[in-house]
């Protein structure tokens, strides 16, 4: 087996490997402790933190479909005060690389979240949730998205990357990426869940308490690969994190080949809480079997004529 250097660069920050959790799938990481070492992952992306505590949407909040999972939590959480008091310190104590997802309902809220998170010890990066709620236009409109990123980047200290998590539909994801990078984003996360809905077979009523939710899992993997491919092709110098339906090491490799520097594992965690660690090992094996020695050599390789891999 060929030795592999799994380290990767996330907008200037070196990670030991490119596999992270996805926002909302493991709270702030504490739930994963019985199953894996959070410090061994490339990063732990927290649930999206809001300014004030939120009770979230009424249950049920998750329903399995034939091709993925529909979820709608309404961003339940302790608010920024509770997060900074208990959840972030837990990650820091375990030497995990904390990528803090933030979600606001106004520019003022985003600015306050950015200031408080950015000035807290132990934050590796800030992920700006531009796709919540699912019917919001912020993450799909270049102008609106750039306004949010501008205030976040202004209040997050330099040296801490700001990543914009974008929606994959309506406007060209390249146009939105170009706008948020111009506004100060150090990279983008592609892509957010896709709005969806399901009807309960028993009640013949909406299956989710919030009626609509975000579709994630296998159904959106090909869409995520396309988004990553398009952005890397148009803007090859922009840092991209790929997320959507990652279940195996090859799924992760596929996103790296399309142009991602890192990937996030989300829905799979509900089925297999140890999956992020397993996917790290599987990715290493996928690279070793192909005599590829560095993640850096793989990023975007599918765009090059010599990109074909056995």
- Report DSSP letters for 41-79, one per residue: SSBEEPPPB-SS-B--SPSP-EEE-SSSEEE-----B-H
For 110, the token pair is 């985003």
**What is the Cα–Cα distance from 270 to 79, expressed in whole angstroms?**
23
24 is in an annotated binding site: no
- Residue 33 CB neighbour total at 10 angstroms: 13
Q: Is 165 annotated as a binding residue?
A: yes
Tell me which residue has tokens 């308490």: 209
Evaluate the CA torsion angle 204, 209, 210, 215 in order and state its sign: negative
What's the CA gap between 240 and 231, in Å, rounded? 8
- Give the separation between CA 18 and CA 189, rounded to whole angstroms: 13
How far is residue 88's CA from residue 145's CA, in Å, rounded to a whole number? Answer: 26
217 annotated binding-site participant:
yes
Which is it for strands 262-265 and 194-196: parallel, antiparallel or unpaired? unpaired
147 assigned ligand-binding residue: no
Q: Do 34 and 272 contact (CB within 8 A), yes or no?
A: no
Q: Is 244 annotated as a binding residue?
A: yes
For residue 306, the 8-state DSSP code is G
- Cα angle, residue 309 at apex, residues 283 and 9 outer, rounded to 5°: 45
Cα gap 118→48, rounded to integer Å: 15
267 marked as part of a ligand binding site: yes
Binding residues for FMN: 129, 165, 217, 244-245, 266-267
Residues belonging to the binding site are: 129, 165, 217, 244-245, 266-267
Annotated binding site for substrate: 129
């Amino acid at each position: 087996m060929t030795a592999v250097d799994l380290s990767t660069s996330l907008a200037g920050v070196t990670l030991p490997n490119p596999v992270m959790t996805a926002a909302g799938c493991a709270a702030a990481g504490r739930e994963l402790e019985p199953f894996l070492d959070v410090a061994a992952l490339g990063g732990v992306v927290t649930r999206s933190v809001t300014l004030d505590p939120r009770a979230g949407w009424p249950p049920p909040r998750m329903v399995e479909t034939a091709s993925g999972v529909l979820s709608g939590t309404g961003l339940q959480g302790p608010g920024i005060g509770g997060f900074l008091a208990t959840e972030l310190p837990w990650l820091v104590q375990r030497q995990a690389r904390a990528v803090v997802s933030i979600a606001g309902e106004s520019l003022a809220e985003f600015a306050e979240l950015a200031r408080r998170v950015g000035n807290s010890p132990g934050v590796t990066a800030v992920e700006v949730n531009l796709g919540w709620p699912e019917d919001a236009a912020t993450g799909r409109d270049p102008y609106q998205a750039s306004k949010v990123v501008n205030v976040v980047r202004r209040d997050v200290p330099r040296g801490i990357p700001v990543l914009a998590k974008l929606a994959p539909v309506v406007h060209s994801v390249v146009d939105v990426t170009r706008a948020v990078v111009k506004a100060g984003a150090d990279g983008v996360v592609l892509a957010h869940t896709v709005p969806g809905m399901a009807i309960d077979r028993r009640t013949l009523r909406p299956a989710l308490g919030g009626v609509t939710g975000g579709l994630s899992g296998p159904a959106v993997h090909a869409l995520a690969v396309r988004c990553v491919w398009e952005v890397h092709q148009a803007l090859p110098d922009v840092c991209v994190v790929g997320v959507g339906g990652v279940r195996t090491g090859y799924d992760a490799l596929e996103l790296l080949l399309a142009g991602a520097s890192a990937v996030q594992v989300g829905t799979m965690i509900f089925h297999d809480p140890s999956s992020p660690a397993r996917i790290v090992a599987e990715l290493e094996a996928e690279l070793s079997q192909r005599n590829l020695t560095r993640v850096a050599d793989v990023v975007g390789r599918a765009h090059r004529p010599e990109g074909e891999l056995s």
